[in-house]
Amino acid sequence: MNVREVARDDVETIRDVADASLNASYDFLDEEVVDRAVDAWYGDEEMDDRLSDEDVLFLVAERDGEVAGFSQSHRFGQEGRIQWLHVDPDHRGEGVGSQLLDATRDALATRGVEQISGAVLADHEGGNEFYRTHGFSIGDQRTIDLGGEMVAENVYYECIGAETELEPVETPDREMYVDRSNPTRGKEGPFYPVYRSEDGSHRYGWFCSNCETVDNSEDTMGRIVCNVCENVHKADRWDASYL
């Protein structure tokens, strides 16, 4: 099996694999819902933007010259987020997912990533078992809007490097500590994780770099919204606006 970075000629095949994988894994979703999601995530214009973004990583796994699966990751400072790992249903059980995960880990590590996360719906037993089997542990659970239904999604983490030093910042209420190594893109400026404690043991929320406040919240679609300057982060995964 050959694992390589995606090429522009792979885009149509990626759409087909994503469509088949999502329909097989999330059989409770209508095909029309999956079609809209795939068009939004992997349309030509969207893929042009992603393939030109140095923080985005797409890897495809080929077997006998055929794309059997792909991984989609995004680097946010020293964190690498596996947003999707899709395997064509016809190639499941052949070790494609494991090889893709190993290659993704290696590629992210060479880019300076020290922690890897991946998200999977809580009710998707196969996806949760996959992450547990490969050494990940649940670090968070969030509720997302999936086609008008609120469902739970587990977030798994794996540390592959050293801990990050946090930067103290003054807020109107107290001193807090910002992790500048893990930016999450916002429309007006990145958001950073912020903690109540210097050792990072008590997470508070997000620090908006545009107005330098911690007055923000996450909506039901997982988007961070600053309540001061209206800086907003686009959801990485499911988004009810097109589902």
Q: What token pair was written down for 191? A: 């958001």
pLDDT tens-digit map of 22-77:
889 887 777 887 888 888 889 898 899 889 999 999 999 999 889 999 999 998 88
Residue 240 has pLDDT above 50, yes or no: no
Q: Hunting for tokens 């899709």 — which residue is that? A: 86
Residue in 219, 172, 221, 164 with CA at minimum distance from that of residue 192: 164
Q: What token pair was written down for 146? A: 């999936």
Q: What token pair was written down for 160? A: 């592959």
Question: Which 3 state secondary structure label does DSSP give 173?
Answer: coil
pTM over cut 0.85: no
Q: What are phi and psi of 28, to 5 degrees?
A: -85, -10
pLDDT tens-digit map of 150-189:
778 888 888 665 456 889 999 887 899 998 877 777 888 8
Q: At a CB cut-off of 8 Å and minimum separation 6, what does 121 contact?
A: 26, 127, 146, 151, 152, 153, 154
Domains by residue range for the chain, with CATH: 2-159 (3.40.630.30), 167-226 (no CATH)
Classify strands 115-121 and 79-87 as parallel, antiparallel or unpaired: parallel
Mean pLDDT, rounded, for 8-30: 89
Residue 147 has pLDDT above 60, yes or no: no
Report in angstroms the alpha-carbon separations of 231 from 61, 74, 77, 187: 37, 20, 19, 6
